[in-house]
Chain A
Amino acid sequence: MDNVSLILLALGSVTILSSLGVLLSRDNFYSALYMALTMIFIATMFTVFNIQSAFILIAFIFIGAVGIVTVALAAVFRYVPRKVPVDKLWIIPTILTIAVLAYTLYKYATFNLSAASSVDIAAFQSQYALAVVFLICLMVLLMISIVKMVRREEVCLK
């Protein structure tokens, strides 16, 4: 096993352990912290394959913006939820999903995953300019919708 595989194995192990922390922690605040940790490890796995731009995007937008707001929200609404029993019937779709994924892994596990060639940002901008404009429009529309929702709710409360 080469160095890349060992680093990936270590990163995958800590990612799974921190995501288990989300599941096992009963306090939402600690769950949110474990979630942010999981996302950081996931972003780090991109850097192993020389995709630093993806790391920056995930770290800045997903962890830096959404993740931190989630941690703040969990800290504000901090209470320990009661334990909920899980229906045993969920075992069937879980086993089916694992079987499909395991077959896919068995089929493609030997695919050679080389280090990715670096992303050409200039070419990306010219190829995906329309998509970027649409994404900006989407975010502005969502913000306007949220402001409208908040104003309507304030009127209802009055």
Chain B
Amino acid sequence: MFEVAIVMITAMVVLLIAYLTAISSRDLIRLLISLEMMFGAVFLALIPVFSIPEMTNTAFGVLVITIFTSSSELLVLIASIVLLNRMTRDISTDVVSSGGDVL
């Protein structure tokens, strides 16, 4: 009866922990880890869609697209981290000088 509640609460808690990790991160590796956890929470939120028989193939399509695009995005971030380290010898978020607001 409460399967949806268990799945969604787990997704919600994992998402909030990922947000907290991202907020408190000072280096890009931890930011990458928190992003992967956010995508994990998104995957969990897709589970209820699979239980509708007419939506099973659609849900699988959404899952495949999500996995591929998120993996591509994360691989680009990994390449950026390696490039940033080669240029600055540092991977802390303080050395990222472009993008975002000036605090």
Contact = CB atoms under 8 A, between A and B. Distances in A.
Interface of A: 1, 4-5, 8-9, 11-12, 15-16, 19-20, 22-23, 28, 31-32, 35, 38-39, 42-43, 45-46, 49, 51, 53-54, 57-58, 61-62, 65-67, 69-70, 73-74, 77, 79, 81-82, 84, 86, 90, 94, 97-98, 101, 104-105, 108-120, 123-124, 127-128, 131-132, 135, 138-139, 142, 145-146, 149-150, 153, 156-157
Given A16-B14, A28-B33, A73-B32, A113 B69 contact: no
Given A86-B23, A101-B8, A66 B64 contact: no
A123 B53 CA distance: 14
Interface of B: 1-10, 12-14, 16-21, 23-27, 29-30, 32-34, 36-37, 39-40, 43-44, 47-48, 50-51, 53, 56-57, 60-61, 63-65, 67-72, 74-76, 78-83, 85-87, 91-92
A112 B1 contact: yes
28 contacts: A16-B10, A19-B18, A35-B33, A43-B43, A46-B43, A49-B47, A53-B60, A65-B71, A70-B33, A70-B78, A74-B29, A81-B26, A81-B92, A84-B24, A101-B12, A105-B9, A111-B4, A113-B3, A114-B51, A116-B56, A119-B56, A124-B60, A127-B57, A128-B64, A131-B61, A146-B76, A153-B86, A153-B87
